[in-house]
Chains A and B, each alone.
Chain A
């Protein structure tokens, strides 16, 4: 499988990446290279192998349900570009 230039533009947009038109061809080639790798792996016979969702064959450790964090808002907000009334301010998301 190989990606069209339109698909490369779409993926860049989903990832919020600004790709210059001049970078499109190179990006397409890199992504198609990854697809080539995947195709190579898919050619391997995996009959009888249980799929893994994580490279480590371990189970998730769980945390007891206890409140362990205190209010550190002032510290976190000291590095935020803009705050008001305890809120983080961001560019308006709806008109």
Chain B
């Protein structure tokens, strides 16, 4: 019997916490880390008689998102009650959107690593994005056999972004989640802090024999709060489903949780009525109407989007798709790069890209610093790039100058080059003098080279560079040395 070739089908639902000041339906603060229940007002704890009043800031962020993904902003959308009983949901229902969401459609372009060092492009279509309120938190530590409830998070505005089931591997799901994460931060609607739960992913996963038109039965993995967990959970779940089906079993639709310690997904204890939410329009809220003028105003305030900027980097600066995507991973990185190129000149754009993504990124990473806190400014980096471009210093020396800039040993690349006498020696006479000395001191290598050992030549170049303390122009050393030995 031939083994079936399985196709993986993944759709993602991402809850992004909107970075407003106040809650979606009340004037309580949403600042993280407050004392339990200090930010839970009468509306949030559902005292009798209270009414929700919709936050304009939350709606505006939904519009920003819709415009950024090329979606339709619904001129009229409806809030609905999603009914279920749980102590951290004091009203007994969550206010969400069901039939008519605020954002319909849209697309997210991705660059997916192919696992072989390259990457391919893909576009994931969005189904919808809707506004809703978050629930509170249940603390199951032992309070005399009781559960503790903190309602600070209750009523925090969320935008739930739902994709079509168009991803075909965990790598695609992660690339999509990362692109979405970058986008919501780029347009400044969400802080993207995954540890604090500002960006949480639910993954709907199923498998089917390749070529089959119908989807297999899916299971939903809840609450994945890191890209690594997203990948691990999907990979485990896919293998679990394939093994089950190949052993003659059938996948049952279920909600599962991922256990990071064991790396396994496990079905939640089935709450039999869990999916009987009995949605209906919330009589406390009128339809949300968004006029064309509001949409136009928000459109005018949107920054240049990462996809557009990435295309510009490729077109104007000749960067590869990979480099352009890396540099537009965050608005801060893109801005740093733009500032560097502005100071170093567009002709040096590629060198600037190499430094921002290479030495600078590595150094920031090691120091656990954000690029906005970089000790080396864009102007300083541009000054360094300019000296490489005009042959004042070699790449090897440039690394030393960069290190000195990082350690604040000088104000600029020029100041450091002067202070340490690092200027590249390009004077032919001076280089020849060095070569003569080296040749005299290394007769053995010279003889080996003459006897046909190519390696001896490299050894001599190395000696010359060493004798010049790295300052001789390597290309010139090569050329002059060849001439002398020739």
Binding site for B on A (CB under 8 A): 10, 13-14, 16, 53-54, 56, 58-69, 71-73, 76-77, 82, 84-94
- Inter-chain contacts of A13 with B (CB < 8 A): 273
Main secondary structure of the interface of B (DSSP, over half): loop
Known contacts A54-B287, A93-B87; is A66 also within 8 Å of B21 by CB?
yes
B32 at interface (Cβ–Cβ under 8 A)?
Answer: no
One of B143-151, B307-315, B359-367 at the interface: B143-151
B87 touches A73 (CB 8 A): no
- Inter-chain contacts of B55 with A (CB < 8 A): 62-63, 65
A14 touches B83 (CB 8 A): yes
Partner of B38, one of A16, A54, A62, A73: A73
B36 touches A86 (CB 8 A): yes
B119 at interface (Cβ–Cβ under 8 A)?
Answer: no
CA distance A48 to B112 in the complex (A): 48
Closest to A84 in B: B143
- Inter-chain contacts of A72 with B (CB < 8 A): 41-42
B78 at interface (Cβ–Cβ under 8 A)?
Answer: yes
A90 touches B87 (CB 8 A): yes
Q: Which of B61-83 contact A (CB under 8 A)?
A: 78, 83
Partner of A14, one of B39, B276, B287: B276
A89 touches B143 (CB 8 A): yes
Partner of B40, one of A14, A62, A63, A73: A73
Give me 29 A-to-B residue pairs in the complex whose CB atoms sit less than 8 angstroms apart, sorted by A's number: A14-B83, A14-B273, A16-B85, A53-B281, A54-B287, A59-B286, A60-B54, A60-B289, A61-B54, A65-B56, A66-B22, A66-B27, A67-B28, A68-B22, A69-B27, A73-B35, A76-B37, A86-B150, A88-B148, A88-B149, A89-B143, A89-B149, A90-B87, A90-B149, A92-B140, A92-B147, A93-B138, A93-B147, A94-B147
- Inter-chain contacts of B27 with A (CB < 8 A): 63, 66-69
CA distance A32 to B151 in the complex (A): 38
> Number of B residues contacting the other chain (C-beta, 8 Å)?
52
Q: How many Cβ-Cβ contacts under 8 Å join chain A to chain B?
A: 128
* A-B pairs, 6 with minimum CB distance: A65-B57, A68-B27, A87-B148, A86-B36, A59-B289, A62-B56
Residue among A63, A64, A89 with the highest chain B CB neighbour number at 10 A: A63
Q: Which of B4-55 contact A (CB under 8 A)?
A: 20-22, 26-29, 35-42, 45, 47, 53-55
Partner of B146, one of A14, A58, A92: A92
Partner of B54, one of A63, A67, A86: A63
- Inter-chain contacts of A85 with B (CB < 8 A): 36, 148
B139 at interface (Cβ–Cβ under 8 A)?
Answer: yes
